[in-house]
A and B are shown apart, each in its own frame.
Chain A
């Protein structure tokens, strides 16, 4: 949530309350730390490495390093890479793994759409959160833990068409694994997707499969999301396109915020908005 921060200052979404989390958003986008800032912050962190020595009441959570926090406590150590003389001035030090993010986003979208009881992000907890936030009254849970379907939940019939489309897909040799094998028509499930399958799904299949099964406004947003990944994974990128892509992605995320409950926005979904920026570097 809260991707409106990244929008331009005068964007109309920033002032809208009901569509988003019930308040306006006036903050600026968070500024990124400059390199020497990081270096300074990290300087003070002293870490002793190793698993903690055995203590009597060592709980599992308390695992980790014995950090004497001096700088901001976001840092858990002074990375060993700072020993390299040129590391401080490098523009980009740690890259994000696109495939990994793509897989997580794909999982999020797919399971939420199919309303998988375990993996769906649109569950009773999500609805409770909505109630706490006091938004989207029509989606709140009833007393017995039941709730109304949302715009994006697939009805039985539609779900069948959706899965059937994926099931019938035939791929050229060596392009991807046999995705139709991962689809269980009987129970309406998708299982055993590898990260490359997710990549292909996001890139090519999902926009086609959801075309006629969802209301238009949902389809548009998801297709946009898929488009983003497709562009980003192209063989050649241009600087201008990436600028556009980044701002477009932030808008897409805002649209997603309007549709999906807040639990949908795990850190992986958030990372998508940094991907284009990072690809630029």
Chain B
């Protein structure tokens, strides 16, 4: 007998999770599965799933806290990321609004036969490509994530003070500490244009964290402006190119 497929269920409605469990039990003869975990909101799913080593995630699209698509994006950073089957009670039209039409999804109420087909297909296809998920997402994420070995650390975007590109990584700075994330600064700038502003070729700062600017000419450098940020001691240089755009924040600060 083949080893049971490890399935994780994320849905905010208890009856919906129950229903999926029932269907999986019905399918057990042809497709043995084991429900290794459940979550009732997006954040919970991201926090719990990694430890369960789930192979497939049945993921409701609209959940409180964090939407399904964002859940999938964070999980795609895992070394052993699960395959994802999106589930929704919304009709085709609404699904288009979720920018999900490029991905596979099941509609509620889910039929056993469709679920079986989706499971088989998802296992063959493996986890969704990161780029595809990013492309499907119409909205900026609410969290940035740092994938560790068996864990995903979530950092709320509103806690981020600045993002600075290093050689291969981007340093994410909050008031509490620093993390390294594997994303491109250009893509981050595009996604979070509303909340962040570029002050330098290698640096984005949170608009809301800008306290002010001060003149600096240390170490024989050319004199330039530094941005003073809320909650962190370091001063970040503002490039001459970005100064025109950034200086307006000085008035708002």
A and B interact physically: no
Q: Which B residues lie at the A interface, using CB under 8 A? A: none
Binding site for B on A (CB under 8 A): none
